[in-house]
Amino acid sequence: MAIWERVKEHWITVTMYLVFSLFFLSACLVSVNTYGAIAQAQRDISLENPVIGADIVPHGDVNISFSVQLHNPSRYTLHVFTLSWYAKLVNASSTNDRVIPVGEDYSGPTHYLEVPAKTTIDYTFWTVVSDPAILEKLNGFINYSKGLGTDYTLETLPYEHSFSVILMIGEFDHDYVREGYLNSLVTVELGYSSVEGIL
Amino acid sequence: MAVISAPPIAFMTFDFMFPNISTPSLEKNLMVVFLLSILTAIPSGYFTRRTDLAMVTVFLYTAVGYVLAVALYSAPYTIFDLEQVLPAFYYAMFFRFTIILLFLFILGGFIGTVFGQMVRDMIRREETALTFKNDDKS
């Protein structure tokens, strides 16, 4: 009762004190909610349904394609920082041309590539291999494999695809120099390799 | 009083750890943290007559606030049931980054406590002076 009497006597200062405390308590709750949402986004943002393809097109060229879905179930828009796709054929028997590149694409930091909240985006990459030098190397690999008993065509060659994307979550700052963990907190790195699967 | 003064301490500690995701953010400004800790301690000096008791209150609310900050920091895998979002040494990193804040909270708390008592004494003196002035007039 004595405490209640004192509270009534100083009701203005007590009210200001309680408002001050409630303001920071609500700031704590909002910040923790944000932290939890970011942690869930880190866990749930994923690559799905990778599809690789190779088709013969007119003039005997080959169209190498790759598509993958980026699933964003979080409440934040993701900003693409870098996006890259690389396709190659590994010819272990050759000393000069061990890796035959057949397709690549790269996109650096840009404001235009975004993944809206709660959406799934399809990324598709394709390239038409028409360079006679590269087609000669591919046909050389086919002929060499035939000698070893394996029949390949330009469509069925074991092309290796690798895809990687770095995304920034929402509008949070991510350019800290000393506190690298703060940048990592709001960065999502995803990758796919046809050899290792979704990374 | 320790419970009511704990949220500002908890928020300042959490915000110092994650300035880019907390709302509002103090952006790791130690001067603002120091001034806020003085402000947080003023009520404990204002409402407590004994200075030593007020300073013990500073220790109490700093401890409660820091424990609350640890709980907030653990929220992703206690409340949200997620895996750890940061690599190894999760708590070691938290203590390493926020230990300096404890000194600021205590030092600012002592200053705020003394300031709160000064404010209370000034108000009491004014009230006493006004009371005597009214008695003289009557």
Please state, in angstroms and rounded to a whole number, the distance separating the CA atoms of residues B20 and A177. Answer: 13
Q: Are A40 and A128 contained in the same domain?
A: no
pLDDT number for residue B133: 77
**Residues of B whose CB is below 8 A from A10:** 47
B23 touches chain A (CB under 8 A): yes
> How is residue A96 written in tokens?
């000069």
The DSSP 8-state label assigned to residue B80 in this structure reads: S
Contact A31/B46, CB-based, under 8 Å?
Answer: no
Indicate if A94 and A186 belong to the same structural domain: yes
Minimum-distance CB partner of B4 among A10, A21, A30: A21
A114 and A39 share one domain: no
State what percent of residues in chain B have pLDDT above 90.
Answer: 41
B4 close contact with A: CB closer than 8 A? yes
Which bin fits B109, alpha (ψ -120 to 50), beta or left (φ > 0)? alpha
- The C-alpha torsion from A2 through B8 and A26 to A172, rounded to 10°, is 180
Instruction: Quote the pLDDT of residue A110.
Output: 74
Give the range of the structural domain holding residue B111, as residue numbers without chain letter: 2-137
Q: What is the pLDDT of residues A14-40, one digit of tens each?
A: 888 899 999 999 999 999 999 999 989
Question: What pLDDT shows up at residue A3?
Answer: 67
Containing structural domain, residue A33: 1-44
A106 and A154 housed in the same domain = yes
Residue A182 and residue A114 share a domain: yes
Q: A66-82: per-residue pLDDT in tens? A: 999 999 999 999 999 99
Cβ contact (<8 Å) for B20 and A38? Answer: no
CA separation for the pair A181, A25 (Å, rounded)? 25
Mean pLDDT, chain B, rounded, equals 86
What span, in angstroms and rounded, lies between the C-alpha atoms of B92 and B34? 23
CB pairs under 8 A between A and B: 88
pLDDT in tens, A53-67: 999 888 878 899 999
Among B5, B72, B76, the residue with its CB nearest the CB of A28 is: B72
In angstroms, the CA B46 to CA B49 distance is 8
Q: Please tell me which residue of chain A has the smallest CA distance to B88.
A: A181
Residues A36 and A113 in one domain: no
Burial class (CB in 10 A: 0-12, 13-18, 19+), B59: middle
Instruction: Decide if A24 and B8 are in contact by the 8 Å CB cutoff.
Output: yes
d(CA A5, CA A9): 6
> How many structural domains are present in chain B?
1
Q: Report, as an integer, the average pLDDT of B58-65.
A: 92
- Beta carbons of B11 and A27 less than 8 Å apart: yes
Residues A84-120 pLDDT 10s = 999 999 887 777 778 888 988 888 887 778 899 999 9
- Whether chain A has a CB inside 8 Å of the CB on B19: the answer is yes
Q: If you ran DSSP here, which 8-state letter would residue A77 be given?
A: P
Q: Residue B93 — very low, low, confident or very high, per pLDDT cuts 50/70/90? A: confident
If you search the block for the tokens 């943002």, which residue do you land on? A45
Q: Are A105 and A84 in contact (CB under 8 A)?
A: yes
CATH number of residue A62's parent domain: 2.60.40
pLDDT on residue A92? 78
What is the structure's pLDDT at B137? 67
Kindly report, residue by residue over B31-55, the tens digit of the pLDDT.
999 999 999 999 888 888 888 888 8
Q: Say which of A6, A10, A31 has its CB closest to residue B15.
A: A31
> What value of ipTM does the predicted structure carry?
0.86
The token pair at A5 is 């009497």
> Could you tell me if B70 lies within 8 Å of chain A, comparing CB atoms?
no
Q: Are residues A35 and A57 in the same domain?
A: no
Number of domains in chain A: 2
Give the model's confidence band at A5: pLDDT under 50 very low, under 70 low, under 90 confident, else very high: confident
Give me the helix-helix angle, B30-47 and B51-73, nearest 10°: 130
* C-alpha neighbours within 13 Å on the C-beta side of residue A51: 11
Cross-strand bridge partners of residue A166: A82, A189
Measured distance between the N- and C-terminal CA atoms of chain B, rounded to whole angstroms: 40
Q: What are the two backbone dihedrals, phi and then psi, of residue A47, each rounded to the nearest 5 degrees?
A: -95, 140
Q: For residue range A116-165, list pLDDT tens digits in order.
A: 999 999 999 999 998 888 888 888 888 888 888 888 888 888 999 999 99
From CA A48, how far away is CA A46, in angstroms rounded?
A: 6
